[in-house]
Amino acid sequence: MIKKCLFPAAGYGTRFLPATKATPKEMLPVLTKPLIQYGVEEAVEAGLHTMAIITGRGKRAIEDHFDISYELEHQIKGTSKEPLLDEIRSLIGQCTFSYTRQLEMKGLGHAILTGETLIGNEPFAVILADDLCTNDHSPMANNELPITDAKGILSQMIEVYEKYQCSIVAIEEVPMDQTHKYGVIAGKPVDNTTDIFRVTDMVEKPEPKDAPTNMAIIGRYILTPDIFDILRGIQPGKGGEIQITDALLEQAKQGKVIAYKFKGQRFDCGSVDGFVEATNYFYTRSVQK
Ligand code: G1P
């Protein structure tokens, strides 16, 4: 059973400078909620209550966010503002949070390896908070309400994990000229499905001419704990960094990685365009409710 969710959150967020000079990028809000809170909510919806967060220098606001703020609570107690804290209070009440610092930025694979001390020897989920996902699976058109009967992305992935018992990556098709932004997979459909693939190849951020397909990994993973030994053994890859994609390729060679085309939408909130798109989307949805 999967109980823990790892959040790599040590990166500098340079694409959002100067906003991220003293504020963690994971704390940038879409409407009134910071990105990382959306991630924690998705994990809780999937039944995970143990959050393991990889932080770094300048990231203390994340710890304070998932804590009680006595002074603030005292100030607004009994006022009309008090309900504004209800959601985060309830969330904090349902989870435990532990933190460890990544001392040097040596890539996503290195960040995940840093989390071994918090995860131990069990399968776990990974959420990259700047990929903001929603389970709404019909884009809003003609002011219609989106369909929200699907489960969250991580919940869907856990169902896939329960069936295949190996590492799972979430994928979506991207325009071919965008492959250089993602880990890209090749795979064969399994069990006559159209959304589940046994991965045969993975490449980190290939140029379109080198990309095996247009199926891109987005920031949701379920990893089996043997990934830590693999990460310890691999050489730096793309950009001189330890890449999770390279470690997963080792598992894939043994047929132990499934790619899952999730139902829902994902916004790349690591880019200004994606962030604005997410903000518009969630705003439109909030005024429709
Ligand atoms: C990371 C991974 C990449 C994946 C992406 C999803 O890249 O290295 O394989 O496709 O997350 O968001 P990053 O966005 O951190 O550069």
CATH of the domain at 120: 3.90.550.10
pLDDT band at 196 (very low <50, low <70, confident <90, very high): very high
Pocket test for ligand 1, best of 14, 15, 54, 128 (most atoms within 8 A of CB): 128
Q: What is the tally of structural domains in the chain?
A: 1
Of 41-50, 144-153, 187-196, the poorest mean pLDDT is in: 144-153
Is the Cβ atom of 246 under 6 angstroms away from ligand 1? no
Residues 171-191: pLDDT tens digits? 999 999 999 999 999 999 998
User: E strands along 175-249, which residues?
Assistant: 183-189, 196-204, 215-223
Give the separation between CA 1 and CA 191, rounded to whole angstroms: 23
Q: Is the pLDDT of residue 11 over 60?
A: yes
Give the separation between CA 25 and CA 11, rounded to whole angstroms: 8
Residues with Cβ within 8 Å of residue 145, at least 6 apart in sequence: 288
Contact in structure between 98 and 51 (CB atoms under 8 Å): yes
Is the Cβ atom of 179 under 6 angstroms away from ligand 1? no
Owning domain of residue 191: 4-288
Global pTM? 0.94
Residues 108-141: pLDDT tens digits? 999 999 999 999 999 999 999 999 999 875 544 4
Give the separation between CA 201 and CA 186, rounded to whole angstroms: 5
Q: Which residue, among 141, 125, 123, 110, has the nearest Cα to 52 in the 3D structure?
A: 125
What's the angle, vertex CA 249, arms to CA 46 and CA 151, rounded to 5? 15
Residues 229-288: pLDDT tens digits? 999 999 999 999 999 999 999 999 999 999 999 999 999 999 999 999 999 999 998 887
Residues with Cβ within 8 Å of residue 15, at least 6 apart in sequence: 270, 271, 272
Residues 29-61: pLDDT tens digits? 999 999 999 999 999 999 999 999 999 998 999
Q: Classify 73 as helix, strand or coil.
A: helix
